[in-house]
Amino acid sequence: MIIPALLTSKREDLIQMVDLCAKFTDYVQIDIMDGEFVPSKSVTVGDLSCWKPSICCEAHLMVSDPYLWLEPFKSLGANRIIYHFEIDKDHKKIIAKIREIGLGVGLAVNPDTEIDDFRYLVQDLDTILFMSVNPGFYGAPFIPEVLEKIKNFKEEYPQKKIGIDGGIKQDNLLQVKQTGLDYVCIGSAILKNDDPKMSFENFVKLFNG
C-alpha cells in the first residue's frame, strides 16, 4: 500500500492536499510537527477544528506530547495514531489512551533506534513505522541502513504490520519492497510532483508489480 504523507503549516494547504489526494486514493497520513521533537512546525491543533477530511486518514505525530493531538484527530475521523518512541513519556499509558478513544495505534521509530529498545511494546501495537530519514523535513535524504533493520524485524515478527517513511523515490522503491514491509508513506515525491496523481499511480504499479 502506498500512503501519501501530507505536511504543511497552513490549514488551507492541508485541506487542498487532502482534496487533491481524494482524486486518486482513499487514505492519507497527516504529518504533525511541533517545533520541539523536530525543528519544523506543521498545522496546529486549532487548524484541525471544524473540518472533516473527504477521505480516511491517520496521524503521524512527530511531537513531544502526543496527548494534545489525540482528541483532535479522533474528532477529525482518523482511524489510527502513530507516535514516536523517542519521546520522554510512558508508552504503555499513551497506547492505552489511544485505545481508550477507539483508535488504532502505531509506533514510529527513528533510524538510530534499535529493535531491542522498543521490543517490549511490539505486542501492544498495530503497526511499526520505520523512519528512513531523520524526521522533520520534507525531502530529507534516505538512510538505506534502515532496510536491514526492517528485514530483521520482519523475520522476528512476521505477522506484525510494518511500514517505512522518508526519502522514498521510484528509484529505491523496489529495494524497499524487498524487505517485506506492508506499506510505504511517501510525501514530497508525490505531493511536490508536477502530476501527483500520476506519481502516486506509478508508485502503486512499482510496489504491486
Residues annotated catalytic, as ranges: 31, 165
DSSP 43-90: --TGGGTT---SSEEEEEEESS-THHHHHHHHHHT-SEEEEETTSSS-
How far apart are alpha carbons 73 and 111 in whole angstroms?
Answer: 26
Q: Is the dihedral of CA 53, 58, 62, 65 positive or negative?
A: positive
Q: Which burial class, exposed, middle or buried, applies to 57 when counting CB atoms under 10 A from its CB (0-12, 13-18, 19+)?
A: buried
